[in-house]
Structures are given as C-alpha cells and as structure tokens.
Structure 1
Amino acid sequence: MSEADPGAAPFFLRAEGEAAAVMRARDWSTSPLGQPEEWPQELRSVVALMLPSKFPMFAAWGDELGFLYNDAYSQILGEKHPDAMGARFREIWSEIWDDISPLIDRAMSGEASYFENLPLTMNRRGFDEETWFTFSYSPLYDSSGTVRGMFCACTETTDQMLAERAASTSEQRYRTLFESIDEGFGVLQFLPTADGEAEDYYHLEANAAFIAHTGIDDALGQKVRSRLPDEAPRWIERFSAVRKTGIPVRFEERLEETGRLIDVYAFRVEPKELDQVALLFRDITAKRRDDERLRELAATLERRFEEALAERKILADIVENTDAFVQVVDLDFRFLAINRASANEFERVFGVLPKVGDSMLDLLADQPEHQADVGAIWSRALAGEEFTEVAEFGDPNRARRHYEIKFNALRDAEGRLIGAYQFVHDVTQRVEGERRLLETQDALRQSQKLETLGQITGGVAHDFNNLLTPIVGSLDLIRRRHDDDPRMARLLDGALQAAERASTLVQRLLAFSRRQVLRPRATPVAELVENMSELIRRSIGPRIAVELDFAPDLKLAQVDPNQLELALLNLAVNARDAMDGVGTLRISARNETIGHRPPLNAGDYVRLEVSDTGRGMDAETLRRATEPFFTTKDVGHGTGLGLSSVSGLVAQSGGDFALASEIGEGTTATLWLPEAVDTGEVSTAKRSSAPQEARTAAVLLVDDEPLVRDGAAEMLADGGFAVASAASGGEALKMLADGVAAEILVTDYAMPGMTGIELAQQARALRPGLKVLLISGYPAEAEADDQLKTIPRLDKPFRQDELLRALAELG
C-alpha cells in the first residue's frame, strides 16, 4: 500500500457538492476507512474522480469495504444518505446483500463485470420497492497490485423498465380484446386523390372476426375499388360522408364474399387529420335465416333446377371476370382452365397469349430464364404442396411485377392428385409501398442522427468560441506591441489568420447545426454580390472569369447579409476547386413565385444561382454533397462543412437549397431566399469601419472562464480603461454593493447560477444608469432571451478594436 503524506490535508476540502460537504463534516474515527489523511493515494485518486462526476458512482475500500460516493449516487441511496458515507457496504445494502455479494466477490477477486437491468428489491425510503439497475463493478488495486476494493458506475433504469412493462401489458390487453371479440372491426385509410381520380380507401387494420365474417383474408393494403369494384361506390359514399362530417352512420349490408348480412356501425377515427374510418359490425344472418328458409321451401323443383344452373353460371362468371388471375394446370403443365384476366396478364408479362390445352413450358421455350422460374414454382404445387408466396415474374424489357400467389392441389373424386390451381393478385403497388415506407423510416433515422450531431456541434462551437476569445485577443495585443519587429509581426499575423480560420469553422458548425444567430433584414442581393465581387475574384484566382447576371426588377431578400456573404464565398471556393482554377463562375438571380412545394411555403422568392464549368459530380457524390463532414478533398484540405453550412443558413432563413450536377457538365447551386416583407432597414453587409474613439471609464468585467476574463481585462486596460473583474454574477453584485467604481458592466451571457441578462437587471437596480455590454460564445442560447433585444451584444471571439468599438457605441 502506498504511503500518504502525513501532513497532507484532506483533498476533498476544496471539492464542491453535497457529498464533499458530508465528507468534510463526518467524524472519520468511527469509519472502517480511518482518517482521510491516512488514505492511500489510490483511494484518494478514485474519490477525486468521483466527486465532480454527474454520473452515479461509488467506491468500497478495505477489508470491511468502507463506502464512499458522489452527489449523483446520493439520489439512489434515498434516506440512507448521508449516514452511508464512510459506513460498511454490507450494512448499507443489507436487504440486497445476498443478491450482490457474489458480484462483489468477483470484483474483489480481480474480475471486472457489467450487468444490465438487474432487478433488485431495495428499501431506500422505509418500504420495499422493485428496482432495476445497469452497472459495472471493477476491482481497485493498491500500489503493490493487490485488490483492495471495488469501483461502481451505475444508472437506475427502474422508470424505463416499469414503463416498458406497462406498455407491454396495455398492448397485450388491447390486442387480446381486438382479436377475441366476435364483432368484426376494421379501419380504412383514405387515399389522397389526384385531379380526375375517384375517391378510394384501403384496408389498414382488420381483426379475426372481420376476416371470418367478410371472408376477405387478404384485404390488408388493398384498395376498396380494386377489391370490391361493384360494391365500392356505395361503400365509399358512406365512408366519405362519415370522414368529412364526423357523424356516425348505421346500416345493413350483405357481403358478396360470404353472403353474410351484417349490421354496420361506421365512425370517424379522431383526430380528423388521420383521414380514417372505422367499421364495427355484427353478423345478423341468423336473424334472417328463417325467412330465407321459408322462401326456399316455397320454391318449386323446377325453380331449384334453374337456380342450380344459374349458380353454376354465376360461379363461372365470377371466376372469368374476377380481378384475380386464376389458372388450373395438369401434371404435364398443360392448362386445364384459365380466366380472361390471367390470360391477358400472361400475355402482357411474357408476350404470348395462352389458352386451354397449351403447355405452359412450351409457351416459354424461347425464354429459358422465365421458363425455369415458372416451372420451379409450379413443380412444388404439382407435387401436392399447398402454399402462398410473393414472387416477381416477367421480362424486364416488357413488364416485371410482384404477385401474391396461392397454390392448391387439384384432386379427383377418389383423392388422387391430378393437377394444381392458383389464385394470383398483382401486389406490385403494395410491395413498392412497403419499400417506400422502409426508405422513409431510414430517412427519419438519418434525420434524428443529424439532429443529435447538430446538438453536439452546437455545444462544441460554444466551447471553441470561449477558447478562441483569449487566443484572438492576446495575439492581437501582442501584434500591436511588436509592430516594429517584422519577423515577430509575420509570425503573429500567421497565428491570427489561423485563429480567424478557426472562428470561421465555428461559424460553419453553428450554421450546420442551425444554432447560429441570424439577423435577417431586407437585402439587395445584386448590390451585395457586386460589393463583394472583388473579394470573390481574389479568392478564386485570375484564371476564372466571373459573370454576374441579375434581373433588373430583382426584389429584396429577407436574409442575414453577413451569413449570405459567407455562403457565397463557400460556393465560390468549392467552384474554384471543381474547376482546378480555370473556368467560368456565373452568379445570377431572378424573382420566382412558388406554390406549395415543401419545404418551401407558397410565396415570392429570390432565386440565387451559382454555376461553374467544373468537372461535376456523379449521382452518389451529389446525393451526399450536403452531408456534414462529407468531402471529396484530401485529408487536411476540407472540413466537409461548406455546403452543409450553406444548406443550414438557407433552411434557417426560411428558404431552400438544391444542387444540380453531371459529370463533365459543371455544377449549379440554387438558393431560394424569401422575399423581404419589411423593407424599412436595408443592408448589404459592408465591411466594418475603423473603431470609434472610446472614452476611458471604469469597467466591471464578469466572466466565469478565467482565460476569457484575463484576456478581456488586458485588452480593456491596454485601451485605457480601469478594470475590476468578477468570476460570477453573485461576486459582481457584491462588488457593486460594496462600492466598486464601475460605469460600464461587461458580462458573459451563460454563467453558472445567473445569466448575464439577470445580472444586468440586478446591477442596474443597484446602479441606475449603468451601461451594459453582453458578450456571448454561443449566440443562439442568448438570442432566445427576449431581454437581449434591449442590451448591446458582442459575440466571441473578438479583437481589441471590436471590443473598444462596442464600448464606444454605448455612448
């Protein structure tokens, strides 16, 4: 065991949080761990790791496994906290000791283990409760390599497991009721119609009783008009009346499929926007059976004979005229029967019209691939197998479709196998619909991934701005003080350029994540492009011609002009790389009125296009071009954020972005920008002028980041200001109450305990007339605060001249 420094103070004296406070207050003479000053360094390191963590953790050390934990774990302990601090592990969790002691033994023998959703019955609040935990146990070693304790990181999953249990129980109850009731129940979904098409519905849900009563065992997914062509108009008329008015209807109807008479109750499924109608019905055939029986007894033998003949004719007509494809084949693959629909479909798919007596295999002799497919599936049926499957048939040059095929064996009166028959339905639309559904689900998953990635990049941008602020400010100050040293000035200029590039990368991250703050205003796009044309030419080189073409009546666009400049520079640089520095870059703009075309709303737009004569992109590259971090450039030569940031800017501005490209034909990027409604303030994002002269004054500077605070204080002091600094809003208010000299308050927005807006309000209550400048490393978080509109703001990172200019503009 390593020796601790006898004179060292307990390391948790400086730690924050409730657990650390309990450690400081505890009498360690009664703990099996002994005094903290005597703890080995290994234990000290583990506790120092645990205390600031937001994830529940604990450690147990020594022969009696003295127990130590952090704030997050105290929530799991319940009423056992704070007495559990320093106590024996076994005494704390005596009620679950039998369950966890084997796991502890494994850890103490040097084996790390992980357990997911382990059920435990715990007593944390004076009563037993069922809980679940996901956790890991790891051995802790002393300096000699001996296991002296164990470490646990855990999370409670009780709420999740109880919710899943409740959802499963509820779903099971619903499904049991749905499938067990004798009443038929089904849901029909309205199909949106194009111009000139009749309204239609398809079967969305059906219980077992629905199938039993109707005899429609393959209804799901089928359209009403195609499934019941003769009955469809009157059914659809009722469905549409219920769907549109919300008024239920009740009626009797005889089903053609089964001959059953049903009492139907139809009602709209809410909310109305679902466009669904539910049917609940019961079989009332038995109620009318006696009447039917009396009519049958009254019929004469001749009538019975005529009806029998008619029945056979009807059956033949149904088979002949049904939409289903019906084929009957003998053991030699010859057609014994085939209805008109099947014969026509066979000809459409394979190019030859079959008739009774033809050999199926002979008809396909000149199409060996299709002959093999058809022969293989029919061979199974002709061997006596009865089955249903979905298969694809047909010549790709003619028509290749998906079919649901039900095969049955054909037997004579003695039960001998003499052939097979099939009922076939074209399910191409259903298969295509299922494919589109899978594509939609995949697109949704990708969207969720991008949203998560956007949240991550937004947070990274926030931290990066805080890091860049002291870097940019310090380099700027040093550059000013070494202006007479050419070599130093060159090195500092390079460092400043790198910092500016990093700042630009942050802006791209914010644009991609759609967390940048936009200040849209009425912007004359043509004037903006012309003002920055020289910058574009310098950026893409002298061998690329730049052509500008703008409609003379071009309207103002509602967009942030600074961000639009950045987007155009991104597109210009991409075009330069695609043209290898030689070619023509064309920027044009026209007015365009658009109807409803998601994601664009109907209205007037400025259509801005940037075209090049470069190498172009293939279909796969074009599809992925706007994905974040996707780039075709070599490692180190592109971030992959250029096009995604342009797309983010346009989407955040209420417009749309599209790319069109072909190999060897160049690329065109199109930006649809909403027409400006309020043209009171017109801007073209001109470059900022030299800093205004700022009078010196006493400044109170507040920022919780020491590097940002120290760097800004140095800039202010160098500019002639008297500076007092505070690390938090509470400290700043105390300094003001104590009389610190301050005419201006410069404060960060996002700080622990109190935002810059809240600090400004309370500071002005103490010092009426106090001027306030807000600085923010993540503008989007402050932009949501309505109070921000009344307070000037400077975004991080900033140089000294930008800070002094902002102070001068305070008046």
Structure 2
Amino acid sequence: MIDDESSPARAHLHVVPTGTVRPAAHPLLSSTDWGATTLGHPDQWPRALTSSVAMMMDSLMPMWLAWGPELAMVYNEPYSAMLGGKHPAAVGAPLQQVWAEIWPDLEALVSTTLQGRGLYREDLPLLINRHGHTEQAWFTFSFTPLRDDAGRIQGLICTVWETTEKVLKLRRLNESESQFQTLFERIDEGFCVIEFFDGPHGPLSDYVHILANPAYAANAGIPNVVGQKVREMVPDEADGWVEIYRNVLLSGVPVRFERELERTGRYLELAAFRIEPAERQQVAVLFQDVTQRHRTEQALRELNDTLERRVQEELDHRMRTEDALRQSQKMEAVGQLTGGIAHDFNNMLAVVVSSLDLLARKYLKDDALAMRYVDAARNGTKRAAQLTQRLLAFSRQQPLKPEALNVNKLVAGMSDLLRHSMGGAIELESVLAGGLWRTHADPNQLENAILNLAVNARDAMPEGGQLTIETVNAYLDERYASEQIGLVAGQYVMVAVSDTGSGMAPDVMARAFDPFFTTKEVGRGTGLGLSQVYGFVKQSGGHVKIYSEPGQGTTVKIYLPRLLNAPEDEVVASATVPMPLSDGQETVLVVEDEESVRLSSIEALTELGYRVLAAEGGEAALKLIDAHPEIALLFADVVMPGMNGRKLADEVRKRRPDLRVLFTTGYTRNAVVHNGVLDPGVELLGKPFTLDELAARVRAVLDKPD
C-alpha cells in the first residue's frame, strides 16, 4: 500500500491508518450527496470500488464505471465533457437512466461484460441526447468487468473515446475518394501516374504506368496501360516522353505542352507535375484530346486568312470600281467635247459636200480636169465625215439602227472582207457557237467594230500570225458587273477578236480606248478605231474588255445584250436604185438656223426638182405651215435655239397630222435620239449628207405608206 499522499497516483485519495482507501475532496466526488445514491457514502465503499475510482480519477482518458445492482455511475473529469447537459446529475445515477436513449444499444454490451467478458467496440454509432437534442455520435468503447474483494463481478469500467470527428472526417474522405474515383473513371481527360526507374538506357531512363483512367486509354489509343513501360509501348517516341517527364521529376517544375501523336495524327494537351515526396519518383500526367480544338483553331486561322483575302479582294474590287468610274467619267467628258466638235464640223461639212455635189452636177460635169479636183475634194470631205462619225461613235452620239441580229451569220458574211483586209501572212479562223442567242444591235456598226479590231490585230502581227473571231453565249454576274460602271448583270452575246501579235503593256492597255491615242507611227492611224468600238458597244448597252500581255497577243471581247423573243425573219436589204427626183409639184419646207447650211439645203432640194420654202427657226416655220397648205415635207434641223426640231414637229402635227417630217442633225444627243437609238417613227438624215443620200431619204419619206 502506497502511503505517500503526495504521490500523483493518489492525488485524490486519503490513506487511513486501517488501510482503507478513501476519496479525497475531488469536485466530482465531494460535491455529490452519496447518501442519496445506491452506492452510499464513499467511506463504506468496498476496497475494489475505491481502488477503481482512484485509478479512474487519475486517468487522462475519459472513463466511467458502474457498480452495484443499479449500476450507479462514477466518472472522471475528461468524461464529463461527453455527457454535456447530463453532468453533474449523472454522478451516482443508474447507467440505464443516464443513457436511456441509447440503452437498447448498450444493454447487450453491458450484459456481456457483467458476465465476465471484456469487450472492445470501435466507432460505435449512437443517437445520444446530451445537449437537449438528439444527435448522431460515434464512440470507441473498452469494457472491463469489476469485481469485489471476494472476486464477484459487481460492475464494469469503461474507457471511451468519442470518434465522431474522426468518423465524419473519414466519411468525408471516403466520399471525396469515391467522388474522385468516379471522376477519375468518367472524366474525358486522360490521367495517369508514372513511376521512373533505371533502365538499360541509364538512370531514370524508363517509366511504368502505375495508375491510369479509361480516358487515358481512349486518348492515347493504348488499352491496358497500367503496368506497361513506355519503351515497350511506343519505342519510337519514348525518348521524347522520357525527357519531358524526367525534367519534371528532377526539377519539380510543372509543365504544360501540346503534342501530336505520330501514330494517330491526333493532338493532345498535357500537364505534368511531380508527386511529393520526390523520392517516390512519380509524376502525375489530369491530359485531353484537343484535336477538335486544334482543327477548330486551324479552321479559324483559315477563316481569318479567308477574311483577310476577302477584305483584300474587296479593297481591290473597290479600287477597280473607282478606276472604272474615273475612266468612265473621263470618257464621258471627252465624249461630250468630241460630240460638240463633231456637231459643228458636220454642219461645215454639210455645206461643203452639198456645194461640191451641186458644182459637179450643174457646172462641171463636162470638165474632166475640174471634176478631178471636185472628186479630190469629195474624198477629203468623205474622210472628214468618217472622222466625225468616229468621234460621234466614241461619244455614243451616232444614230444607231439596231435590229434583231444573228451575229454568227454576220461574222460568216464578213469572211471575204476580212481575208482581203488581213493579207496572206495571217491565218483567219472563226469559232462560232452553236445555239447562239440573238442580240439587238446595228449590224453596220458591229461590222465596222469587228473590222476595226481585225485591222488593229493585223498591224500587231507584221510578221504574220493567227486571227481568231469567236462567238459564245455569256453571262456577266453581279460581282463582275459591279466593277464596270453602267454594266447590268445578265445574258450577253460575246464576240471575241484574238491575235497572236505583240500584245500590249498595262499602261497602253489602260489608254487603248482613249480617242486619238495610238502606238502606230504618224500617218498610219487616227487613234479612233478602238474609241469607235468602245462608243458603239456602250451605246448599244454592252461591254467591251481587253485582255493582253506583251508578247502573248491580245483579245478584245465585245458583249452585246441578248435579245429575248427575237423574230426569226431576217431583215432583207433593199436594192440600190437611181437617184430619185421630184416632178416639181412637191413642196419642202427647210428649217435651219445656220444660214450656210440652210442655203445649201435649199439649193440641193431645188436641184432635185422640189419646190422649196425656208425658215431660220420654229416660229417662222409655223407661220409658213399655216400659209402654205401645199407643203408636203418638213425638213428640219433638230438642234436649234428656241424651239428645237422635235418641238416644231409636235406643233406641226397638231395643225397638219398628215405632214411628213424628216429631221437632220450632226449631233444625236437631242430630242429625237435616246440612248443612241432613234425614237419610234422618227426619220433622220445625218449631217453631212450627199445629194444622193438626200434624194433617197426625201423620196423614201414622201413615198412611205400611211
């Protein structure tokens, strides 16, 4: 028996002389009215109970004991915290009363222990009420039987650990691990853990897969990867993979990279980090298949390139459109100038031509030498008239007589003319499309355009070559038409004239349609051939384009609008007849503001046998109409100050609906010609005109049936 009361093991007991151990003044013991309990006063406790209580009170572990028939409880201070609100009333109270809510769970354990069998229960779940409400808690119990001095079992002692926090943490950990395992198994990203080892290639020269999820096999294309070594899996690629992951292992620096799998052509994005501690020589690799993303990025790059290209194309398109607009404005300005010049020049030529015709007819027809001079003058005026016609053609102001036209037949009919014009050194070929649409154009002007192009082609092939004339049905789309000012998208008949000659430089091609521009030496061309073609085509609602490269020849393409619902009947040219004269009974009223032209017209009509009246303007002409009902024909200039020829004709028809009208003009931008085409029912004689032309046209108008 230890009799040192200062001993830590006996801090709460007093040792009495008779050897009986008694409880000291411990708060849990001294504050209890033991007389009111089944245990009685501690001085009366059996030695075994006193010893057990002393041992329990000195323990740092939560402990309680129950003794006697009622199993009255005694517990230490660490256990009091587990009791919560049940303390201190639980001291000396029956065990079944203290833990009534869990007694069904404890009864079997207590009963077994009282039968002499110690028990250990770990993490036993119990629904306890210790704070005024029921709560789930977990405890680990160690039950030991307690015997009296005679060796009979009188109770039990329990060491208890509350494991609620541990159990909950473990449960959360298990749930987390379960979630991780589920995620690990189901995520689309591949995940694996690799472990390095020393191989035949040196230290840390190979690794084995010790963990891998299903996505790894799917993304890497390698099934059953766990346990496989990289040098056995992909021997051709192993060095690269080993180097990347070994650097991560040795440096501890995570890495992220993208790599293409050579065997599958797929792209993977990978991340790798070292698993601590480093001595484990393990690296984790949370990779994914980014082939779709890679392809999407590639598609985006291609789309970006396409957008950049389209933007550049749009800028180029806009520049071409602006260039075309500037060219169109330039041509329009030059056209207005040349048209005005041609008008004045034609009036002057009209006087000269008429005077020469009258001079030859009335005074010089028997004088051969004089007639030679007259013929020379006539040739000069003819060439001058052709020059003004070309100017008018370029300025889109010549009067056209369009008709339903079979271009194949027109080209075929020009065969002999073209062969004679080309000479023997040039081979001529025609490629005519089957089923060629008809167009609505002036056949004479189209012939002139083709001939002009052929002559230019001939001059570009001084050593000989090949000239090809081709026809085809064509469609000009909205995109192309938008770059050409005034061009309407749609169906066209295309005539192309191609040569194998010297071709054109870009700066020459840009000015090819300008009037008076030529690359020929002085005296070999006026520079109006292509200008005339340009004006005729534009005036006909068409389009003309040059394709050429130096040394590669030139192709000029003419596009004329398709004529829908074209009649099948061809227009038959009328036969040439002798100069028709009047019988002297028909009266013509000449209305012309320019005196010299008016006088020459009077003399010419008089020479043809007509009676002639004349007026210098519209107002004077109306007075003559009212005063002379015998007037059979109004021969009026269109362009006059005040009342122009068209307005005069409208006023005349109010008075004389049956009066025939023949207009004359050297300039077609006026009231009787629109878009280069004569208004329906209008008869026009262009200036300058010969006596034969005047006689034929006047006679045709007078003899035209009503």
Of structures 1 and 2, the larger Rg is shown by 2
TM-score in terms of structure 2 length = 0.50
